[in-house]
Structure 1
Amino acid sequence: MPNPRRWILLRGLARGRGHWGSFVQKMQAHFPNDEFELIDLKGNGERFTEQSPLHVEDYVRDLRAHSQFVKDGKPFNILAVSLGAMITVEWMREYPHEVQKAILVCTSSSGFSPFYDRYRLRNYLPTLRLAIETSAEKWERDILEMVTNSHERREAEIGAMIEYSKRNPMKVTNILRQLAAASRYRFPKDAPGDIKIIGSHGDRLVSPRCSLKIAEGWGLKAVMHPWAGHDIPVDDPQWLIEHLL
């Protein structure tokens, strides 16, 4: 029996631990001996009353303070999406002894890609509308329409996500603060550790070129999903699980 691994799972912009959907249960079933921590970014999910930091470095400090793995001095892997992946890169840069391996899903960096690839222009107006949306149902339907491509998977997950967002509503100011943190963060020139880059050719929120450019800059080969949207864990959870290691 292989030694159990420890995993921290991090979501991205305006998404909390409840937005993994059924992915977490599927991952736990696939790795039954592993340990998992799902930590919300400050301002997201169950931490929606807190103020999101303006700098990626401050997310790292906050998440480390909330991780039992860190407190126990146990190294771990991180699976992170989008903004969560940016935070993971900084975590590895500052504390390389803590993170054994990182899987970065559909992320980007200003050092590798222009702003219009990092957040596709057609998404700016829908995002502004979302920022003032008060209906949890409309909020979730609009977001999932932007970040997923499978109607079947979207409908399977949306009910639970609507209820989650009703309990944990996002604040407009936190969305803007997270966007500011993401826009100004630049990845280091070289990969800060053992990293796998995963992207999708079907990503309509962030250009697939972003994952490819990061991988090229770091001398890695990106693993690209053929059709999923930005939220691969929702669109095709089994595929992602099979490509984690």
Structure 2
Amino acid sequence: MRTWVLLRGLMREARHWGDFPVQFQQAMAAEQLHCIDFPGNGQLNQQNSLTTVAAMADFCHQQLVQHAVQEPVYVLAVSLGAMVALAWAERYPADMQGIVLVNTSVAPHNPFYQRLRPGNYPALIATMLFGSAFAREKLILRITSNLHTEEQAKTIVEQWKNYAQQRPISRANILRQLGAALRFHAPMQTGKLPLLLLAGEKDRLVNVTCSRTLAKKWDCPLHIHPEAGHDLPLDDAAWIIAQVRTWQNQMRNNPALLM
């Protein structure tokens, strides 16, 4: 059996994957796929968000136990979710077979001005904490996605606004999640766990240099989409699926890569 877990980022929930999970599960022939919502988000929006990435990793481990997943899983994670995946692998290495990290950035390897481009600070602070659901989701789409027409963007923002109204995330939980991300320090090395990095060259939220630095430090493969932004699964799901399939085929044909 092959099981995949998908982890989203700050203030996101399972529905923000759109139809990516269905496409991904079919393409990867995964027997099980779990999209985990962190406390404070999605179906768990009434709970307090966890204040450390380590606690989020513990939560993910507990989800495997609750779903009776007994084999090591593969994890595909975006942004904050990628930080959680790293902490999860460090704390529970037996849980995992491999990790795919999308547009991540972590201290101490990446400086703060690359992890969050300074030009975004004023709008993010004002809109995230004080803006309407519509204004917040419109801003998020503008700085995280590149490859949509104006009409597609309107449809996406309206959908995301509905998610935010149906399962609102509190300002306190936004701050808890942001604080957890800012305090997290990634391990210097990632051990022997197979790791793939994916990034968008035109990410307007996180500098793609972060992924290049991590690939060099961790000696792992990195593939960069020439046009996509921070939300790579939204911008080009087919590209992500192709990169992950190639990576898994390479490991299957060369078992030494797993050592």
**TM-score over 0.5 for the alignment?**
yes
Deviation string 1:140-192 (CA, Å, 9 cap, x unpaired) is 21111110012335345334322222111121111111111111211111123
Paired amino acid for 1:243: Q
Which range moves more in the overlay, 218-227 or 63-72? Answer: 63-72
Residue of structure 2 in register with 1:168 after alignment: 167
Calculate the TM-score normalised by the size of structure 2: 0.87
Which range moves more in the overlay, 27-36 or 231-240? Answer: 27-36
Residue of structure 2 in register with 1:25 after alignment: 22
Q: State the aligned residue count.
A: 242
Tell me how far apart the structure 2 counterparts of residues 163 and 29 of structure 1 sit (CA, whole Å).
27
CA contact (8 A) 2:195 2:221 kept: no
Tell me how far apart the structure 2 counterparts of residues 101 and 171 of structure 1 sit (CA, whole Å).
33
Tell me how far apart the structure 2 counterparts of residues 32 and 146 of structure 1 sit (CA, whole Å).
32
Where 1:37 maps in the other structure, the secondary structure is strand
Which range moves more in the overlay, 104-113 or 191-200? Answer: 191-200
Tell me how far apart the structure 1 counterparts of residues 168 and 179 of structure 2 sit (CA, whole Å).
20
Which range moves more in the overlay, 30-39 or 85-94? Answer: 30-39
Tell me how far apart the structure 2 counterparts of residues 139 and 131 of structure 1 sit (CA, whole Å).
6
CA contact (8 A) 1:22 1:157 kept: no
Which range moves more in the overlay, 161-170 or 129-138? Answer: 129-138
Residue of structure 2 in register with 1:64 after alignment: 61
Instruction: Tell me which of 32, 36, 47 is aligned to 1:39.
Output: 36
Give unmatched runs, 5+ long, in structure 1.
none
Distance of aligned partners of 1:28 and 1:221 in 2 relative to their CA distance in 1, 3 Å threshold: closer
Residue of structure 2 in register with 1:223 after alignment: 223
Alignment of 1:1-245 (within 5 A): 4-68=1-65, 71-133=68-130, 135-152=132-149, 154-155=153-154, 157-192=156-191, 193-244=193-244, 245=247
Paired amino acid for 1:20: W
Paired amino acid for 1:148: S
Give unmatched runs, 5+ long, in structure 2.
248-259
Tell me how far apart the structure 2 counterparts of residues 242 and 156 of structure 1 sit (CA, whole Å).
26
1:219 Cα deviation after fit: 1.2
Paired amino acid for 2:235: D
CA contact (8 A) 1:200 1:225 kept: yes
Instruction: Give the superposed CA RMSD.
Output: 1.8
1:209 Cα deviation after fit: 0.6
Which range moves more in the overlay, 12-21 or 190-199? Answer: 190-199
1:47 Cα deviation after fit: 1.3
CA contact (8 A) 2:3 2:30 kept: no
Tell me how far apart the structure 1 counterparts of residues 107 and 52 of structure 2 sit (CA, whole Å).
14
Distance of aligned partners of 1:195 and 1:26 in 2 relative to their CA distance in 1, 3 Å threshold: same
Where 2:94 maps in the other structure, the secondary structure is coil
CA contact (8 A) 1:12 1:81 kept: yes
